[in-house]
Amino acid sequence: MDFLKPRYTPMNRRRRIYEGKAKVLYEGPEPGTLIQHFKDDATAFNAKKHEVIDGKGVLNNRISEFVFQNLNDIGVPTHFIRRLNMREQLIREVEIIPLEVVVRNVAAGSLAQKLGIEEGTQLPRSIIEFYYKNDALNDPMVSEEHVTAFGWASPQEIDDIMALAIRVNDFLSGLFLGVGIRLVDFKMETGRLWENDTVRIVVADEISPDSCRLWDIKSNDKLDKDRFRRDMGGLVEAYSEVARRLGILPESEVPNGRGPVLVTSKD
């Protein structure tokens, strides 16, 4: 009765490895792989604010796929292998370094607040910050001293992480500038990937409008999760706009887009 057996493991029987606020990780089809599933949940302020926003997971899966595939293509190592379906991607299993690496080009969010700098002020140069990934402690900002003293990463690994962060920032800034979007800041995560006897640091997690601040160059409209954090509404429309500009979503799929256009022959 082999023909009755499913050729894949149905989702409810796959082993769940980890559930986060916006994603779930399942065991992958081969050793060393995982499946990263994007949920529609949006949280902010350490999950004190929570909502389910239909369509967010699908958009983040596509946008993050696009970014990670491009990073792989230009030689920036990531955990990404390929997208599997609307909500899932196949990734390499890595040991996540418990740091949120934030790169800022323009003052906004917690930096603007903490240092009393007006949001939108161009920073003298890009700034990299580390936050210790720990919900119970509210992800406190930490220095390189803390990172090495507590053994979260070695000095060499910090150098590698900073080099990756700069390359990702350069790539993303250019990518978004090309479609009329200013990359204000973003958060990335990294992990250790073992290959035979060697270990290297790769970009992990996701890069999407959930983890970046993206402002329209002309209007300064926010096209990112601040729409949710600040109760502005229109989150799915904003993420769709990002996807459309990157060429991921065809024009016809844009909500509130133009109606059908009459095609007339030129000759």
Residue 102 vs 235, nearer CB to ligand AIR: 102
Q: Which alpha helices (H) appear in the chain, and where do they start and end?
A: 56-73, 109-115, 144-149, 155-177, 226-229, 235-245
DSSP state of 250: -
Q: Which stretch binds ligand AIR (CB under 6 A): 51-59, 101-109, 115-123, 235-243?
A: 101-109
DSSP state of 266: -
209, two tokens = 């409008």
Buried b (16+ CB within 10 A) or exposed e, 92-108: bbbeebebbbbbbbbbb
SS3 sequence, 221-248? CECCCHHHHCCCCCHHHHHHHHHHHCCC
Radius of gyration of the chain, Cα coordinates, nearest whole angstrom: 20
Q: Confirm or reject binding of residue 241 to ligand AIR (CB under 6 A).
A: no
**Which of 167, 164, 162, 166 has the alpha carbon at shortest distance from 148?**
162
Residue 46 binds: one of ligand AIR, ligand ASP, none (C-beta under 5 to 8 A by kind)? ligand ASP
Q: Confirm or reject binding of residue 67 to ligand AIR (CB under 6 A).
A: no
- Least gap, CB of 5 to ligand AIR (angstroms): 41
Q: Confirm or reject binding of residue 102 to ligand AIR (CB under 6 A).
A: yes
Q: Confirm or reject binding of residue 110 to ligand AIR (CB under 6 A).
A: yes
Q: Which stretch binds ligand AIR (CB under 6 A): 10-18, 35-43, 152-160, 182-190?
A: 182-190
| Number of residue whose CB is nearest ligand ASP | 43
Which of 33, 43, 70, 126: binder of ligand ASP (CB under 6 A)? 43
Residue 49 vs 200, nearer CB to ligand ASP: 49
Q: How far apart are CA 41 and CA 21, in angstroms?
A: 7
Q: Confirm or reject binding of residue 109 to ligand AIR (CB under 6 A).
A: yes
**Contact positions toward ligand AIR, by CB under 6 A?**
100, 102, 108-111, 185-187, 210-213, 225
**Contact positions toward ligand ASP, by CB under 6 A?**
21, 43-47, 225, 229
